[in-house]
């Protein structure tokens, strides 16, 4: 699994100069900016999704082990999800600022 992810990242990063060169050849010098914005939001969304999945799995496992602590775990889980989502939204704002 890790080899597939690493291969995907290397392939994506290896194609960045090709996309930027195509944009430069057409007279538009913004190719690298758009690629940077796309990579920024992709990495943020991937990290956010993985973090939210882990939080959800840990909360469900904790509630299954101790059902009486559901209310306190639920509040902590929601707080964690909100913080992760705010970071992803912040990355979206940065990506939109980069793209101009």
3-class DSSP string for the chain: CHHHHHHHHHHHHHHHHHHHHHHHHCCCCCHHHHHHHHHHHHHHHHHHHHHHHHHHHHHHHHHHHCHHHHHHHHHHHHHHHHHHHHHHHHHHHHHHHHHC
Most confident of 10-14, 25-29, 38-42, 46-50: 46-50
Determine the structural domain holding residue 85 and report its residue range.
63-100
Asked if the structure places residue 36 within a domain, the reply is no
The tokens describing 57, both together, are 């799995």
Q: Would residue 93 count as lying in a domain?
A: yes
* pLDDT digit string, tens, across residues 64-96: 999 898 888 889 899 999 999 999 999 999 988
Mean pLDDT of 10-23: 68
Residue 80 lies in a domain: yes
Average pLDDT score over residue span 2-29: 70
Classify residue 54: in a domain, yes or no: no
Q: Looking at the 3D structure of the chain, how many domains does it have?
A: 1
For residues 2 and 45, the model is more confident at 45
């Amino acid at each position: 699994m890790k080899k597939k992810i690493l291969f995907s990242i290397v392939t994506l990063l290896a194609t960045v100069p090709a996309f930027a060169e195509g944009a430069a050849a057409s007279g538009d010098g913004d190719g690298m900016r758009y690629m940077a914005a796309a990579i920024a939001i992709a990495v943020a969304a991937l990290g956010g999704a993985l973090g939210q999945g882990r939080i959800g799995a840990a909360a469900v496992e904790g509630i299954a082990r101790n059902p009486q602590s559901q209310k306190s775990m639920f509040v902590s889980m929601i707080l964690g999800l909100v913080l992760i989502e705010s970071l992803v939204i912040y990355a979206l704002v940065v990506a939109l600022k980069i793209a101009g």
